[in-house]
Structure 1
Amino acid sequence: MSLAYAEVIGDPIAQSKSPVIHGFWLEKLGITGDYRRVHMKADGLADYFASRRDDPDWRGCNVTMPHKQAVIPLIDRLDPLAARIGAVNTVVREGGALVGYNTDAPGFLEPLRPLLGQTHYFRMARVLGTGGAARAIVAALAAEGMVIVLAGRDVGKARALLEELDPKGDHHVAPLDHFADATDFPFDDREGCLDLVVNASSLGMTGQGALCFDMSHAPPGSVFYDIVTSPLETDFLKAAKGAGFRTFDGLSMLIGQADHAFRKFFGAMPPRGAADVALRERMLG
């Protein structure tokens, strides 16, 4: 008996919570299907897509680190948003073609929508990281009128990324270690402003290096957002909470992007709202 399925591919992959999310929704909707994780090295990507093209039960895959750009030459076409971002996190077979999408951008913005729906005098985001996820986050925030300070180990790479994604924007770059040391910068009155501090890197993830960020770099009223999901409450978020800042964890983005991917894989709207509470409990159980 054939079984429709989708997958997530990456290196490493054991930490991925995507199978739990999609499995939960399949169960709640009573859909006969499966969602799997596949540990995929870079040198196996071409063979992977070649084999999946011939599998009628394969609906597509999510793509996680470090393959979000490497998969682009191996698929047939890109959705306009994915083309603009230059990174793919969802591949779907449509007819005989493999189409690349980026659901990271709308997924990242989902928990911020109530804030972004308000009027602000000024919007600034300090974004830490310059990888594939950062590309989606920068593009999404620029489209929402945010002035971006992009921090990376390689300032030249950060500058090139901003020039590529939003060449007309009034954005800035900084070395990542700039935020590690305390500052005595006198922030102005931030009432009516929206300030975000986003960890868009893998720093702070289990098995990765630490993310060093001194809270003196955050203006009053800042909102902190960490896309890392393992651990869920990173040291970055713990420090932000301890300093009294509002925070969003990595599951917010992960569930949001999975929502868009699930619709494409299985042709159904996933249960959200109150179901998110039960989903989080399952992921943390």
Structure 2
Amino acid sequence: MRRLAVLGSPIAHSKSPGLHRAAYRLLGLDWEYSAVEMRGEDLAAFIGGLDDSWRGLSLTMPLKQDVLPLLDEVDELATLTGAANTVLFDGAARRGFNTDVGGIVRALAEAGCDRVRHGVLIGGGATAKSALAAMAELGAASVQILVRRPEAGAAIAELGHRLGLAVELSKLAELEGVAEAELLVSTVPGGTELGVEASAALVRSAVLLDVAYAPWPTPLAAHWLGLGGTVVHGLGMLLHQALLQVRTFVAGDPFAVLPDEEAVLSVMRETL
């Protein structure tokens, strides 16, 4: 039997075991996928103690960054964003991948948002970096990044420049003055009160992707929905990044389409 797990802290609430077990069951694979409580300081010892039955790991924050020094190979997106949410044990090699970027792109495309010229991004952490890379993949030319402390946003602004984006780094309070965009992505934790509301004009023009999914709706999503705006649930990103992880664990490649992939996606969606 091959073994896999999602690691993080806290982890008991994770929906990843249900998503992955449904996929492997449909694919006819007798694989075990569990949830393991894990802190960054314990990660190296845990990975070092795994035997040959282990195929891979899914990682939550802050492990997506903590794992990087422990890997032999890191894919382009994980290198670019500084975060790997997927580890594949490929023989003796530990290979790291970022499937969050693809998960965001696929979730937005499913909602009809497959092209962006100007985006707005709330947050500056690892998930925000993945969202910024996703916006670049969707064709964005410019992104306004809203953070509580702009002086702490140098790293994500630098990533934007490397992606070829025109980046404007602003205080979160300036959200109320933003009037137009095709997409707003919020990467703040669920339940967070921003202390500022989006304008009706922005809600009319932009799709909101709120990567948080518990509790739902978030205050921002509730405001958006209340004004009749289009909201993409954070579970969409979770679903699609998990599908790319399944591809990675099964075929060794997040771009390798699974046998009967639509059916796989369907049974995974039913677990949410």
Partner of 2:91: 95
Secondary structure of residue in 2 paired with 1:215: coil
Partner of 1:39: 37
Matches of 1:149 and 1:107, distance apart in 2: 21
Partner of 2:129: 135
Task: Give the counterpart letter for 1:216 in structure 2.
Answer: S
> Paired residues, what number?
263
Partner of 2:25: 27
Does structure 1 residue 211 correspond to structure 2 residue 207?
no
Identify which of 147, 152, 161 aligns with 1:152. 147
Give the C-alpha shift of residue 108 in structure 1: 0.6
Give the C-alpha shift of residue 49 in structure 1: 1.2
Give the C-alpha shift of residue 128 in structure 1: 0.8
Does structure 1 residue 166 correspond to structure 2 residue 161?
yes
Give the C-alpha shift of residue 272 in structure 1: 5.1
Q: TM-score, normalised by structure 2?
A: 0.87
Matches of 1:79 and 1:253, distance apart in 2: 19
1:247-258 matches, cutoff 5 A: 247-258=231-242
Secondary structure of residue in 1 paired with 2:184: strand
Matches of 2:196 and 2:30, distance apart in 1: 45
Q: TM-score, normalised by structure 1?
A: 0.83
Structure 1 portions without partners, runs of 5+: none
Partner of 1:234: 218
Give the C-alpha shift of residue 230 in structure 1: 1.4
Structure 2 portions without partners, runs of 5+: 252-256
Task: Give the counterpart letter for 1:14 in structure 2.
Answer: A
Give the C-alpha shift of residue 157 in structure 1: 2.8
Check the 8 A contact 1:203/1:211 in 2, yes or no: no
Give the C-alpha shift of residue 164 in structure 1: 3.0
Per-residue CA shift, 1:127-149, capped at 9, x if unaligned? 11111111111112123322111
Structure 1 pair 280/231, CA: closer, same or farther in 2 (3 Å)? Answer: farther
Secondary structure of residue in 2 paired with 1:98: strand
Matches of 1:117 and 1:133, distance apart in 2: 19
Check the 8 A contact 1:92/1:98 in 2, yes or no: yes
Structure 1 pair 270/124, CA: closer, same or farther in 2 (3 Å)? Answer: farther
Structure 1 pair 235/278, CA: closer, same or farther in 2 (3 Å)? Answer: farther
Matches of 2:73 and 2:166, distance apart in 1: 31
Check the 8 A contact 1:8/1:37 in 2, yes or no: yes
Matches of 2:47 and 2:135, distance apart in 1: 31
Runs of 4+ in structure 1 deviating by more than 3 angstroms, as ranges, are: 114-118, 270-281
Q: CA RMSD in A?
A: 2.3
Secondary structure of residue in 1 paired with 2:139: coil
